[in-house]
Structure 1
Amino acid sequence: MHIVGATYADAWLASELRAKETGALVVHAYNQSEVVAGQGTLGYELSQQLPELDTLLVSVGGGGLISGIASWFQNSVRVIGVETEGTASMYRALQAGAPVDVEISGLAADALGARRVGDLPFSIAQRYVERVVLVNDEAIAQAQRSLWNELRLVAEPAAVAGIAALQAGVYQPAPNEHVGILICGGNAQLESLLSK
């Protein structure tokens, strides 16, 4: 195993060079049709388990997960992206009308910190993601604590963005709206939650 660079972009460039040297298969974390299609199977599972679902809140990093899920639902369920103020790559891309480079920082930067969303996820998000909302790091930390205190679940900062959006009032459901929150990622230490 080789650890290269400080960001996903650095690691991606290194993996491309290694693939050229060895002929290895290159799999992009979020900007590849097979990856997006694989993520879309989660949308299928949710549609089977929760047929009454109106809205789904999904954390956004490079865009692979949300674009796969949104591709499955194709506007039959409202898909809302959630990013932190320090990881707003999809939010800024949708504002600009194209993927743009953004500065990355904050609690969720290790998982949501794609400096630039992929072209494929962006094009899908333009069609099938209703909007992207932003939460701050304080809301993320509070959502982590709530998940632990109320359900005894440990989740990484990126995983709780949807909970943070609801708790902070960034997304406000309509009366009787059936809202789902995708909690994806347990890369957190219990000690970090207890010390907050």
Structure 2
Amino acid sequence: MEENHLFPVFFKVHRLQILVVGGGAVGLEKVSALLDNCPTANLTVVATWFLPELEALVKNAPNVTLVQKEFSCGDMFGKDLAIAATNDHEFNYFVWEKAKCSKVLINVADTPELCDFYLGSVVQKGNLKIAISTNGKSPTIAKRLKEVLQDALPGSLNEILDKLQLIRDRIKGDFSEKVKQLNQITDVLVKKD
């Protein structure tokens, strides 16, 4: 049976430098996803043209720079992550090659075999964030699961998280003791009748 061997990671994108190559619909989708998750993400978007919707989206995003020019390998300099976000597969492959040469992790839109990471569907309720991956097989299923979870999770989750943090901060003992006590407190969340 095939399994998903991806290791889920949540990047602090306000601390990283991210390059997005492409100013069309695909670029808009990727920039929008990044800014939805972190409005202060540090993004440089390189393209020969930009959709007006992309320009409008980043107008109030202080850490996003639009650079209207042809992509070059120098654009990878100082970047931590890159996203090839065009609908031109040959060009995206060229961007992938430059990222690999620069040792920059890259996501190539609609080409799972060239991706070092995926931008998964994300469910968020306050501080709770759940990422969903189908290992690149079906972003549509991930989107549908996101909708189900978004509706199923109560809006009061953030209040619960705040209270649990207060409890965690007050618990005495070493790490093992704290985990044991927190497991007892939260056991009610997973108990079945």
TM-score (norm 1): 0.31
Higher helix share: 1
Higher strand share: 2
> Larger relative CO (CA 8 A, sep 6+): 1 or 2?
1
Which of these two proteins has the greater Rg computed from alpha carbons? 2
TM-score (norm 2): 0.32
